[in-house]
């Protein structure tokens, strides 16, 4: 399986043009996220992709550091921010586990649709905790393991995923159970404030956790 940065660089153009698969659910959780942020916050988004979420939240906070391992994703994000006149977003090419971020702790860290793409989730959660101020919030949205109500297309995708990965057509994916994910977050030094699937049949688990 190819390096993750190489994979996301390769698909960055297609990713930037793709529409949101469930826009209603995306906007619902985006508004929930806004409710945990303040105008004075400096927040970090890890796995920002081409910056769509950062751009939508920019007016709600003081500053956003938007990071991704893909340099090409970051380039696209910078271009979008320039076009939209968003001058309070700093785009950074970085792995969540490295030290290429502001030395000051953040008020909030966002990880939308990326924890299931990581090989070492416990280390990532611990790193995120270190980057947060005491009482800061960690907000994530993660595709979790499949249940009985999973749509057929997702069950088929899980079957063919190993082949797609061998061919370089899919990244590493780890579908954790929601209880496993919440346990990792708690053990990482957080108290879970809110957790749920929105809508209930959606596969992505939205979690808000506060650093203890």
| pLDDT number for residue 1 | 41
- At 93 the three-state DSSP class reads strand
Residue 113 near residue 47, CB atoms below 8 Å: yes
The whole-angstrom separation of Cα 177 and Cα 27 is 24
As beta bridge partners, residue 194 has: 208
- Cα distances from 208 to residues 119, 161, 186, in angstroms, run 21, 29, 11
The band of 114, judged by pLDDT with boundaries at 50, 70 and 90, is very high
User: What would the pLDDT profile of 131-167 be if each residue is shown by its tens digit?
Assistant: 999 999 999 999 987 665 666 666 677 777 767 777 7
Q: What is the mean pLDDT of residues 4-33?
A: 92
**Contact present, 4 and 93 (Cβ < 8 Å):** no
Q: What is the mean pLDDT of the chain?
A: 90
User: What pLDDT, on the 0 to 100 scale, is given for residue 46?
Assistant: 96
Q: What is the rounded CA–CA span in Å between residue 64 and residue 24?
A: 24
- Examine the pLDDT at 69 and tell me if it is beyond 50: yes
DSSP 8-class letter at 81: H
Reply yes or no on whether the pLDDT at 85 is more than 70: yes
- Domains in the chain: boundaries: 4-211
The pLDDT, as a whole number, for residue 22 is 86
CATH of domain 4-211: 3.40.50.150
């Amino acid at each position: 399986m190819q390096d993750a940065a190489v994979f996301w660089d390769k698909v960055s153009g297609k990713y930037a043009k793709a529409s949101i698969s469930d826009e209603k659910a995306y906007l619902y959780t985006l508004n929930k996220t806004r409710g945990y942020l303040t105008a004075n916050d400096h927040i970090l988004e890890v796995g920002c992709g081409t910056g769509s979420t950062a751009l939508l939240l920019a007016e709600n906070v003081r500053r956003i550091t938007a990071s991704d391992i893909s340099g090409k994703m970051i380039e696209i994000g910078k271009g979008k921010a320039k076009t939209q006149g968003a001058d309070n977003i700093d785009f950074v090419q970085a792995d969540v586990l490295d030290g290429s971020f502001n030395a000051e702790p953040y008020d909030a860290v966002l990880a939308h649709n990326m924890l299931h793409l990581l090989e070492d989730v416990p280390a990532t959660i611990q790193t995120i905790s270190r980057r947060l101020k005491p009482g800061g919030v960690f907000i994530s949205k993660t595709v979790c393991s499949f249940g009985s109500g999973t749509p057929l297309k997702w069950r088929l995708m899980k079957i063919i995923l190993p082949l797609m990965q061998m061919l370089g057509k899919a990244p590493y994916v780890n579908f954790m159970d929601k209880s496993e994910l919440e346990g990792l977050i708690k053990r990482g030094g957080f108290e879970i404030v809110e957790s749920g699937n929105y809508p209930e049949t959606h596969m992505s688990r939205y979690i808000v956790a506060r650093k203890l």
